[in-house]
Amino acid sequence: MYVAGQWIDTEKKIDVLNPYDGAVVDAVPCADSGDVEKALESAVRGARTMAKLPGYDRYRILKAAAELVEARSEEFAEIITLEEGKSLAESRFEVSRAVQTLTLSGEEAKRLHGETVPFDGAPGGSGKFGFTLRVPCGIVVAISPFNFPLNLVCHKVGPALAAGNAVVIKPATDTPLSALKLTEILLEAGLPAEGIACLTGRGAEIGDALCSDRRVRKITFTGSRDIGERICRMAGIKKVTMELGSNAPVIIMPDADLEKVAAAVAATGYTNAGQVCISTQRVLTSEKVYGDFLDALKPKVEALVTGNPLDVGTKVGPMIRERDAIRVGEWVQEAVASGARVVTGGARQGAIYAPTVVADVKPDMRLFCDELFGPAVAVTRFDSIDEAIALANDTIYGLAAGIFTENLEWAMRFAREVEAGNLMINWGPQWRADLMPYGGLKESGFGKEGPRYAVEEMTELKLVCFHLKS
């Protein structure tokens, strides 16, 4: 791992396992509180260096890093598949998105600006001249989840560096290799030695020390709701961005093109074995097309080939750990015991859970009200747009939602009334362009990612006022 300007090792190691067959892919150091202290002490110096680095230099470093990631796309794609288990095609797509994210972040390094403040509009304000200055926070701690081990790290590190901060990365323990490689590339691209640290170690062991430290001025976290809540408690008075979980709904109105909807649900419910925060989980379907929709969806889901994610034909690989596949099976069985029915799937082999459709799911079932984060969708019927919107909002989460309809009135009601940060009309909730403002409402978190918006979260605004004689 990279701490205090040096690559270091520890005696205690953590094995990184291939989720498909459990083989050891690599081993990484296991950081402890002493390593956290070393990283933060160095990051204090790193933050001073970064704040002095001109925007154009920060742009050049991020642009060079984007080019290096692009040049090593295949290497990165293979690492992602080996540590995370998504199909090679999905890993390649993640790498191409990471190149975008770094490129966009680099551009933002040139655009940090404040604005003039019209003091003369205030009583007694004449003779004053003022403006705002946007300045870096200082030390940013970036804590990332396992499911997008490269691009989600770029969404934190890119804007943090663009804004002139030093950044301490804490990647997910299951998937630390992409973040380590990215650190290597940023240094190769010219990043000052103390501008970054990458600590591999268990969140449960080093998380509190990292998050509660007063030298840290900003925490950017992507992960589960419960860990997010703990981090908020530990953080005390500092800036925090929370990108948390979801059980994203899609609404199918009676006028929707069911073939198109079925293709979209098959595409957005099972990517990365359903381990995407905005995966389609709850499929709210009009009573009028309920049976026809299930008939259209079933063959499309059955066509999703499962297997070794390194094989070209594989669409759906393993879940990150076998115990997650077991959990998905338990939730499906629990729903069935309460009256739901499995339309297709429902079987498990090791960490692979077959792409599954469960129909007749009720709002009190875990498949509906909790975050599944697995390759199954829960289908629920409704009578009217009012009921569909109420069901969509019947959750503590609010990250993303979709609707399929040709009716403008229904689409606008959905956009206005559904409580979610990202709203897709005529597509499932799982869609993201890296430049867009992205983030959740309710307990899906707060603060936005997308480099332009994240840079605002990674900076502070100062107000300057000249009290002039005339």
Strand, helix or coil for residue 270 = coil
State the nearest-atom distance from the C-beta of 206 to ligand NAP, in Å.
8
Beta-carbon count within 10 A of 151 CB = 25
- Please tell me the chain's helix, strand, coil percentages from 3-state DSSP, rounded to the nearest 5: 40, 20, 35
Specify the residue, 27 or 303, whose C-beta has the smaller distance to ligand NAP: 27
Residue 331's H or E segment, with its range, is helix 322-337
Specify the residue, 59 or 146, whose C-beta has the smaller distance to ligand NAP: 146
> Structure tokens of 297?
């969806």
Tell me whether strands 282-286 and 376-382 are parallel, antiparallel or unpaired: parallel
277 catalytic per annotation: yes
> Under the phi-then-psi rule, with left for phi > 0, alpha for psi from -120 to 50, and beta for the rest, what region is 104?
alpha
State the nearest-atom distance from the C-beta of 85 to ligand NAP, in Å.
13
Specify the residue, 179 or 251, whose C-beta has the smaller distance to ligand NAP: 179
DSSP β-bridge partners for residue 249: 282
> Structure tokens of 261?
């909807």
Q: Which one of 243, 443, 449, 457 is the catalytic residue?
A: 243
Specify the residue, 235 or 335, whose C-beta has the smaller distance to ligand NAP: 235
Taking alpha carbons only, the member of 165, 230, 182 closest to residue 204 is 230
Using CB under 6 A, list all residues that contact ligand NAP. 143-147, 152, 170, 172-174, 202-204, 207-208, 211, 222-224, 227, 230-231, 243-246, 277, 371, 373, 399, 440, 445
What are the residues whose beta carbons fall under 8 Å from the beta carbon of 331, sequence distance 6 or more?
366, 367, 370, 372, 374, 376
* 101 vs 455: CA distance, rounded Å: 12
State the nearest-atom distance from the C-beta of 414 to ligand NAP, in Å.
20
DSSP β-bridge partners for residue 197: 168
Specify the residue, 207 or 346, whose C-beta has the smaller distance to ligand NAP: 207
State the nearest-atom distance from the C-beta of 53 to ligand NAP, in Å.
27
Specify the residue, 192 or 245, whose C-beta has the smaller distance to ligand NAP: 245
Q: Are the beta carbons of 282 and 250 closer than 8 angstroms?
A: yes
Specify the residue, 224 or 426, whose C-beta has the smaller distance to ligand NAP: 224
* 16 vs 5: CA distance, rounded Å: 24
Please report, as a single letter, which amino acid is at residue 413: R
Angle between helices 55-71 and 73-84 (to 10 degrees): 80
> Structure tokens of 135?
């300045």
Specify the residue, 258 or 399, whose C-beta has the smaller distance to ligand NAP: 399
State the nearest-atom distance from the C-beta of 68 to ligand NAP, in Å.
24
Q: Which one of 277, 371, 449, 457 is the catalytic residue?
A: 277
State the nearest-atom distance from the C-beta of 309 to ligand NAP, in Å.
18
State the nearest-atom distance from the C-beta of 200 to ligand NAP, in Å.
9
* 164 vs 161: CA distance, rounded Å: 5
Taking alpha carbons only, the member of 243, 306, 70, 53 closest to residue 163 is 53
DSSP β-bridge partners for residue 169: 142, 198
Q: Are the beta carbons of 453 and 113 closer than 8 angstroms?
A: no
Q: Alpha helix locations (H) across 30-87?
A: 33-52, 55-71, 73-84
State the nearest-atom distance from the C-beta of 18 to ligand NAP, in Å.
17
What are the residues whose beta carbons fall under 8 Å from the beta carbon of 157, sequence distance 6 or more?
142, 167, 169, 182, 186, 196
Specify the residue, 225 or 315, whose C-beta has the smaller distance to ligand NAP: 225
* 21 vs 27: CA distance, rounded Å: 16
Name the residues annotated as catalytic: 243, 277
